[in-house]
Chain A
Amino acid sequence: MNEHQNKTADGGRWLDKPRNVDRLVYALYAVCALLFLADLLYTKKAYFGFENWVGFYGWFGFASYVFIVLSAKLWRRVVKRDEDYYERER
C-alpha cells in the first residue's frame, strides 16, 4: 500500500503518461470539429449579420487567442525587467 502510494505520488499518475495527454488533446480537437459542424444544424438567433457566418464564434475565439498570446510575447520584450527592479535604486 505504502509502496503504491509512493509510486502514484512520484509520476505514476494517469496524466503523467504523454500518451494520455495526447488523447485528451485529440478529444478536444474532435469536440471542436463537432461544434463547428453543429452550426449547420440550427438557426442562430443573431444580433449582428456576421454572427451567422459558419463557425464565427469558433474561429473568432481561435484568432483572438492566438493574437493575444503572440502580442503578449512581443509586449514582454518591452516591459520585462528583473524581479527586484523597484527594490534597487533605493
Chain B
Amino acid sequence: MFATLNPALILIVGALLVPLLRGRARSLYMLALPLAGLVQLVLLPSGEYGHWQVFEYTLTTLRIDGLSFVFGLIFFVAAFLGVLYALHVEDTLQHVAALVYAGAALGATFAGDLITLFIFWELTAVSSVFLIWARRTERAYRSGVRYLIIQVGSGVILLAGIILHAHETGSIAFDNIGLSGLASTLIFIAFGIKCAFPLLHNWLQDAYPEATVTGTVVLSAFTTKLAVYALARGFPGTELLLYIGATMTAFPIFFAVIENDMRRVLSYSLNNQLGFMVAGIGVGTELAINGTVAHAFCHILYKALLFMSMGAVLYRVGTIKASQLGGLYKSMPLTAGFCIVGSMSISAFPLFSGFISKSLILGAVAAEQYWGVWLVLLFASAGVLDHSGIKIPFFTFFAHDSGKRCAEAPTNMLWAMGLTAFACIAIGVYPEPLYAILPYAVDYIPYTTTHVITQLQLLLFSAMAFAILYRRGVYPPEIPALNLDFDWVYRRLGRRLMAVSRTAIGGTDRAIRQALHRQGLRLLTGLFRHHGPHGILARTWPTGSMVLWVAVLLGAYLIFYYAGAR
C-alpha cells in the first residue's frame, strides 16, 4: 500500500494537518512534507500504479515515466522552496492552500488518464485562488474571481473535450492526443488557457501580481508548467505550437518594458519564457522535448527566485512599483545579489541555468531549419535581457536612489533565495545531472566556443544598447500608470456592452410591457362594459329569449351539417 503511495497525496493530505500545529513544529512539518514526497517519488520505479475502476473506465492515478518524473521532481523542489520562503507567514490559510495547490499540480502530472487529470486540473484552480484572496484587498478579491472563472472555465472545456474524446476513441488514456477534430481541439484550448496562449494569457498578468508576497512565488511555479507538461504529453510535434510559442515569446516583451509593477513585469516575462517551451513542443523532436523539459526545470527555479526577490522588496518597502523604487542595494544587498543571479539565469548568461536549457530549444528549432521562428526566439532573447535581465534589478536596486531605507529580507526568505540562486548557478556550471534525467538521451554540449561567444555577443550588445539609450534619456521612464492589455475586452468592453445591452433590453422590455399593459387595460374595460354589473351580458334574460337562441343555434347547426354532408 505505502510502497505505491501517490507522492502528490503526501502534500494534499498532509496539508490538512497543518492547522493543528503551531510554531517550530509546524515549520518543520511543512518543510518535511515536500521532502517526503520527493523521497517517495525517487523510490518509486517507473510504471503505472493506483488503478481504480469507475463504471466501465479504469483510472490510472499514478504514472511515473521519463516526462512525469522530471516535472514531479522540480514541483517538489519548488514546493519545498515555496514553504521555506513563506515560513515567517502566520496565515494558516496560505500554507494549506499552497501545499494543496502544489499537491494538485503533482497529482495532475502523475495522472495516467484524462479523468484523473481533470480532477487535479480543477483542484489546482480552486486551491490556488486562495493565495490571491489571502491578500485580503478588494482589488485582489476581484482579480481572484476573474482568475477563478477563467481557470475553472479551462477545466470545463477540458471536461467537454475529454467526454467527446472518450466517446470517439473509447479510451481515456492520457497519451499523445494530436490536434484533429473537435474533441482534441477542446482539450488543446483548455491546455492553452492554463499555458497563457496569446489572447488567452491575461489571467496571468492580472492575478499573479495581486497575490500575496509568498503566494505569487508558489503560483509562478505550478499552473503554467503543468500546462506545458500537458502539452508536451498530449500534443508534441504540433506545428501550430511552434508559431503560438514564437508569438508568446515576442509580444509580452513590449508590455514588460513599459510596465511599472515589477511583479507584473515578471508575469509578462513568465509568459515570454513559456513561449520558448511551447515552441520546443511544437518542434517535437527528442532534442526539442528535452529542451522544453530542461527549460521548464530551470525556469521554475529562476522565475521563483526573481519573484522571491521582488516579494522581499514588497514585504520590506511596502510597494513594488518601479517608479517608487531605486537604490535598494544599499539596504538589501543580499536580496539584490540573489536577484541578479536570477536575472542572469533567465537571460541565459553562460554559467547560469538558462544558458544550458534555452540553447537546447534554439538548437532544435535551428536543426529543423525553421529560420523565421529561430530569429523571433533570438529577438525575444534580447527582450528577456531587457525586462528580466536589466529592468528588474536595475530599477529596483540601482538607478535613481529613491531614498528608501529598510531592513534586509527575513532570514527564511534569504535562505530560500540563497538555495535557489545556488541551484541556478550549479545547474549552469554542471548541467550533466539535469541532462541525465531528461526524457530522452542527451547528445548536446552547451559550452562550445561558438555558443559561448555568440551568446555573450547577443547579451552584451543588448546591454550596450540599454546603456546608450538610458544615458541619452531615450529609455522609457518608470511612471505610475496602467497599460491596457487584452483583459480590457472583458473588464471594460464587456462591461460597456453589458451596460448598453442592459439599456437596450430594458427599454424594449419596458415598451413591450407598457403596450401589453395598455392592451390589457382596454380588454379589461371592454369586459367590464359587457360583463360588468351594467353590462349587456349581465342582464337577466327571460326564458323565452333563451329558447329562441337555442333554436337559432340548432337551426344553424342543421344547415352546416347538410352543407358539410354534400
A69 adjacent to B475 (CB under 8 Å): yes
Task: Give a binary string over A10-30; 1 marks a CB under 8 Å from any B CB, 0 the rest.
Answer: 010101100000000100110
Contacts of A59 in B (CB 8 A): 461
B463 adjacent to A79 (CB under 8 Å): no
B485 adjacent to A32 (CB under 8 Å): no
A68 adjacent to B254 (CB under 8 Å): yes
Complex: A78 Cα to B483 Cα, angstroms = 9
Distance in angstroms from B12 CB to nearest chain A CB is: 35
Given A64-B379, A65-B385, A68-B386, A35:B456 Cβ within 8 A: yes
A9 at the interface (CB under 8 A from B): yes
Given A35-B460, A61-B459, A69-B257, A44:B465 Cβ within 8 A: no
B457 at the interface (CB under 8 A from A): yes
A42 adjacent to B461 (CB under 8 Å): no
Query: In chain B, residues 51-109, which have Cβ atoms closer than 8 Å to a Cβ of chain A?
Result: none
Q: CB < 8 Å: which of B401, B450, B469, B480 contacts A83? A: B480
Q: CB < 8 Å: which of B330, B398, B462, B484 contacts A81? A: B484
Q: CB < 8 Å: which of B450, B463, B464 contacts A44? A: B450
B453 adjacent to A15 (CB under 8 Å): no
Distance in angstroms from B372 CB to nearest chain A CB is: 11
A15 adjacent to B457 (CB under 8 Å): no
Distance in angstroms from B149 CB to nearest chain A CB is: 16
Contacts of A78 in B (CB 8 A): 484
Contacts of A69 in B (CB 8 A): 257, 386, 465-466, 469, 474-476
Contacts of A44 in B (CB 8 A): 450, 454
Stretch at the interface among B42-50, B238-246, B363-371, B516-524: B363-371
Complex: A43 Cα to B376 Cα, angstroms = 24
Given A55-B457, A76-B483, A80-B483, A66:B254 Cβ within 8 A: no
Query: In chain B, residues 346-371, which have Cβ atoms closer than 8 Å to a Cβ of chain A?
Result: 363, 366-367, 369, 371
Distance in angstroms from A12 CB to nearest chain B CB is: 10
Given A31-B460, A62-B464, A76-B476, A48:B374 Cβ within 8 A: yes
B450 adjacent to A45 (CB under 8 Å): yes
Contacts of A25 in B (CB 8 A): 467, 471
Contacts of B450 in A (CB 8 A): 42, 44-46
B180 at the interface (CB under 8 A from A): no
Complex: A86 Cα to B481 Cα, angstroms = 12
B367 adjacent to A47 (CB under 8 Å): yes
Contacts of A51 in B (CB 8 A): 454
A65 adjacent to B382 (CB under 8 Å): yes
- Nearest to A85 among chain B residues (CB) is B482
Task: Give a binary string over A51-77; 1 marks a CB under 8 Å from any B CB, 0 the rest.
Answer: 100011111111011101111110110
Q: CB < 8 Å: which of A57, A65, A84 contacts B465? A: A65
Given A82-B481, A85-B482, A86-B491, A61:B258 Cβ within 8 A: no
B457 adjacent to A86 (CB under 8 Å): no
Q: CB < 8 Å: which of B258, B381, B385, B465 contacts A72? A: B258
Contacts of B469 in A (CB 8 A): 65-66, 69
Complex: A9 Cα to B331 Cα, angstroms = 8
Complex: A87 Cα to B480 Cα, angstroms = 15
Query: In chain B, residues 476-520, which have Cβ atoms closer than 8 Å to a Cβ of chain A?
Result: 476, 480-485, 491-492, 495
Distance in angstroms from B262 CB to nearest chain A CB is: 15
Q: CB < 8 Å: which of B253, B398, B456 contacts A15? A: B398
B366 adjacent to A28 (CB under 8 Å): no
Contacts of A71 in B (CB 8 A): 254
Distance in angstroms from B376 CB to nearest chain A CB is: 10
Complex: A71 Cα to B262 Cα, angstroms = 20
Distance in angstroms from A78 CB to nearest chain B CB is: 8
Given A28-B463, A32-B460, A65-B386, A57:B374 Cβ within 8 A: no
A83 adjacent to B456 (CB under 8 Å): no
Distance in angstroms from A9 CB to nearest chain B CB is: 6
A60 adjacent to B480 (CB under 8 Å): no
Complex: A61 Cα to B465 Cα, angstroms = 9
Distance in angstroms from B69 CB to nearest chain A CB is: 31
- Nearest to A87 among chain B residues (CB) is B139
- Nearest to A51 among chain B residues (CB) is B454
Contacts of A86 in B (CB 8 A): 482, 491-492
Complex: A89 Cα to B371 Cα, angstroms = 47
Contacts of A28 in B (CB 8 A): 460, 463-464, 467
B462 adjacent to A62 (CB under 8 Å): yes
Distance in angstroms from A46 CB to nearest chain B CB is: 8
Complex: A46 Cα to B364 Cα, angstroms = 13
B343 at the interface (CB under 8 A from A): no
Task: Give a binary string over B392-422; 1 marks a CB under 8 Å from any A CB, 0 the rest.
Answer: 0000001001000100000000000000000
B476 adjacent to A58 (CB under 8 Å): no
Query: In chain B, residues 307-347, which have Cβ atoms closer than 8 Å to a Cβ of chain A?
Result: 329-330
B290 at the interface (CB under 8 A from A): no
Complex: A86 Cα to B448 Cα, angstroms = 50
Beyond contacts A45-B450, A85-B482: 6 other A-B pairs, Cβ-Cβ < 8 A, are A16-B401, A28-B464, A39-B457, A61-B459, A79-B485, A81-B482
Those 10 A-B pairs whose CB atoms lie nearest each other, nearest first? A47-B366, A72-B257, A65-B465, A64-B382, A61-B458, A57-B457, A58-B457, A58-B461, A65-B462, A79-B484
Q: List 7 A-B contacts (CB under 8 A).
A: A29-B464, A31-B460, A44-B450, A47-B374, A62-B461, A65-B385, A85-B482
